Chains A and B, each alone.
Chain A
Amino acid sequence: MYGFLIAVGVLLLLSVVWMVFRIQTLVSVVKGSERKIETTSNKVNAFLFVVFMVGSGILMFWYSIKEFDNYQLPVASEHGVITDELFWITMAVTGVVFLITHVLLFIFPYKYQYKEGRKASFYPDNHKLEIIWTAVPGVVLAGLVISGWMAWSDITAPAPEKAHVVEIMGYQFAWDVRYPGKDNVLGDYDYRLINASNSHGIDFTDKNSTDDFPSPKVVIPKGEPVLFKIRARDVLHSVFAPHMRLKMDAVPGMPTRFWFIPTKTTAEMRAELKDPEFEYEIACTEICGRGHFSMKKVIEVVEPAEYQKWLAEQKSFIQQNPAIADGQKVESKELAGIQTSVSNK
């Protein structure tokens, strides 16, 4: 019944619109306004550009100021402070250009709208002007690029040797975390060793892997360099820690890395935001399938002393499950290789 009523309503509305359209066409034919150029429509359109400029300008400033704390995520890493600064410098520069060009773009239509008897000025070029507005953006952009390049070089420079290593592995649809243990060296892995009990594919014949341990969340110390070693098991993923201003793709077959220095512990951030439930999060930003929107991992930033304590408490893979290494001792790799080739047939 409702559907029928809605359909009738829509039909009525459409026929009203149709009538209005026909009437205005006929009126304009009678008035001969089609032959005129300086019409009311021309004036209205010119005026609407100004209305649009003022209206949307007010909306933009109002919303940008009102919502500032909402869209400006708090920053919790050393390089993040620098990239944020670059972001806002760029915002200031482009903001000025945005405003000036748009004011001109919307004022000109109003000011120079068609007038009978006036002639537009024949102004085909002005080399001086053109050189100026090629050079000025060139110089400004060079400034922005060079500052960006310096920041980028620092961020992507090799990690300090003492950096705490954490391995993050993406798979459909979660992240797995592995710590290198006391030796701070991750053991070898091979994707062919992956099975139900060894989700990382760790090669336990490698000595470095004996003290490796898993963790349900990423725990890192404040104020000390941390190196994320990133890899993927199946398809592309991307580690995105928004508060750390950190993003790096996880690529199957090609390990990637990103190092940074966290500057605020989770507790400090909770106090700052007055949000006792705040957590640093990792999300996935490379489309990876059905569960792309749900690949969450929590990062907990703690004081260095607390971090050392936490490290000491962790149990390695082998301690948690002594059987895990047993099967591999006997030429495990070849066995796994055979299994894969069988299962592929």
Chain B
Amino acid sequence: MATATVAHQDTAVHEHHEHEHHDNFITKYLFTTDHKMIAKQFLVTGMFWAIIGGLLSTLFRLQLGFPDMNLEFLRPILGGWIDEAGKLDPTFYLALVTMHGTIMVFFVLTAGLSGTFSNFLIPLQIGARDMASGFMNMLSYWFFFVSGVIMFISLFLKTGPAGGGWVVYPPLSALEQAIPGSGMGMTLWLISMTFFIASSLLGGINYVTTVINLRTKGMSFSRLPLTIWAFFLTAVIGILSFPVLFAAALLLVFDRSFGTSFYLSDIYVAGEALPNTGGSPVLYQHLFWFLGHPEVYIVLLPALGITSEVIATNSRKPIFGYKAMVISLLGITVLSFIVWAHHMFVSGMNPFLGSIFMFLTLIIAVPSAVKVFNYLTTLWRGNLIFTPGMLFSIGLVSFFISGGLTGIFLGNSAIDIQLHDTYFVVAHFHLVMGSASFFGMMAGVYHWFPKMFGRMMDAKLGYIHFWLTFVGVYMVFFPMHYIGIAGFPRRYYSWTNFEFTNMYTDLNMFVSVAAIITFAAQFIFIFNFFYSMYRGRKATLNPWNSTTLEWTTPLHPGHGNWPGEIPTVYRWPYDYSKPGAAEDFIPQHIPLSQTPESNLPHEQELVKVELEIMKEEADLLVANGSKH
């Protein structure tokens, strides 16, 4: 049955293909339904947002590192947000922090990472012509685009963009009287996020459907590359958690505009008592973190998947413990839904609930630890090639360890009392979620650039980019641990009001300088990316000697990916350095029957079955051929 469907689908796409030679600019680059082009759209948009997000962070790092600096030179850009004395406005500082968080978490690491690589790799690595629904996929990008346009507009409002932190807790985010950003800025934030949620649901449903239904012959779940496992589970998490954020946002809209009291109660602000009673701000926090925590894994899992692939390829070794890797991904997926309240230990919720969530939270450290150990063992006794992608993957593992370990402090509610909402938290999530995911994204770009554009990125620039960024990220975020242990609270415009924070001006200055250098180093990448797109060295078909299916496509795969039939898969994706084999890799589409010299005993037995299936397949093709 399955073979029949596949064969049928092939012919359908073939027929379809012949009509599609006259792609014009609009259907090819703008409203395209080709998953590869949509992936590139996500990538370039993500890069645009990464620059904006990074730029915002350099602005507030200037304030934190050089509080006495005259920022008059920023007036042409920031206008009224620089006051007469040349200082950054404290309200705008909060808006900067908020927008930096929102942009980086959602637009860069969710859309830029998942949107790019799920789109690009799922059909190519599972052997499909395209996504299950190319149209939905196109909508997914354009919803994201609209969402971005709205968020971008909000940056230029006279009252400023949303300024209540990226978590936009009410009542602050509900009351315009409390902060000007909660007026029009917050409205646009909510509209933008609504579009974003729609985009990510359209994408997610597509990813899940495609992985389940469109795998090529022989591509069983146990032969999926870990990238696909990661994208698949990420999409599942997104589908289950984003609607809850939508619910939270919707109730917030009601509270803001229609006088309901879901989150508001007993408020006296700006000289008047509001009529709202009976609501609970903690309800919003529960709803928000029900997305917010899985969101961490939505940005992290794709990065881990990419890393698994890149490390295995460039170690010339099978990933160690494939099954354990899949099980830990599954474990993380399930657990990610039941740990959210560890963001709320001191929110005033019942302390008993805190105990429960502390236990659940620390369980999630176990699969994460397993992943780290497996990466290390994959490197062990490998034959390591340091492509830029490989360097970024090793960097990811380092950040994942450093940031993951501090999570053990924060997941412990007793220790979290002191550390909650201090710079320790900032250091923690910027390493484990921000930098690790960012490095995964970079690893992916360097690794799959040849497949995306048929050319190679310059490796030397890649090395320089890596080392500047790797050292830079540690120089930015490692010192924040000290600042955090000392109790410096987050989202502070200045430290001088308190005795206990009236120190570390030198360290903050150091962090700011490191942040600006690291940000500047990203332009090496931007240059490399666009230069190589047009002038880079022509890539070979399989530049990294990799085993997965995407490298069996032509250099510039058209819409439909494979000109002829989709290759069949006969083995798992990690046959690197197999004893007995001549080459140090055997691609997934090479039948076991062709490699008797390297087959393991249990594989040798599979050869018989394989030969039988191949024969049936051939008969079927002949029969199909005679029908036409």
Contacts and interface: CB of A to CB of B under 8 A. Distances in A.
Interface of A: 21, 24-25, 28-29, 34, 37, 41-42, 44-46, 48-49, 52, 56, 60, 63-64, 67, 70-73, 80, 82-83, 86-87, 90-91, 93-94, 97-98, 101-102, 104-105, 108-109, 112-115, 118-126, 129-130, 133-134, 137-138, 141-142, 144-145, 148-149, 151-153, 155-156, 171-172, 191-192, 194, 201, 233-236, 238, 240, 242-243, 245-249, 251-254, 256, 277-279, 281, 283-294, 296, 336, 340-341, 343-344
Contacts of B412: 86, 90, 144-145, 148
A45 B391 contact: yes
A177 to B, nearest CB: 17
Interface in B383-401: 383-386, 391, 394, 397-398, 401
Interface residues of B, number: 119
Interface of B: 90-91, 94, 164-165, 169, 171-172, 175, 178-179, 264-269, 272-275, 277-282, 315-324, 346-348, 351, 354-355, 358-359, 362-363, 365-366, 369-370, 372-374, 376-377, 379-386, 391, 394, 397-398, 401-402, 405-406, 408-409, 412-415, 417-418, 420-422, 458-461, 463, 467, 470-471, 474, 478, 482-483, 485-487, 489-495, 497-501, 503-504, 537, 574, 576-579, 584
Contacts of A278: 499
Contacts of B323: 125
A73 B500 CA distance: 8
A191 B268 contact: yes
B500 A288 contact: no
22 contacts: A34-B537, A41-B459, A71-B486, A83-B415, A105-B379, A124-B321, A125-B324, A126-B321, A133-B370, A149-B355, A171-B268, A236-B172, A245-B418, A247-B420, A248-B348, A251-B282, A253-B277, A253-B279, A281-B499, A281-B500, A287-B491, A336-B273
B394 A109 contact: yes
A48 B494 CA distance: 37
A88 B358 CA distance: 18
A254 B572 CA distance: 56
A247 B362 contact: no
A120 B577 contact: yes
Given A109-B384, A134-B370, A94 B489 contact: no
A108 B94 contact: no
Contacts of A192: 268, 273
Contact of B369 (A46, A137, A151): A137
Across the A-B interface, give the 4 residue pairs with the lowest CB-CB distance, nearest first.
A253-B265, A156-B351, A242-B487, A148-B412
Nearest to B171: A235
B347 to A, nearest CB: 5
Contacts of A82: 414
Contact of A238 (B266, B282, B421, B504): B421
A285 B420 contact: yes
A173 B263 CA distance: 21
Contacts of B272: 340, 343-344
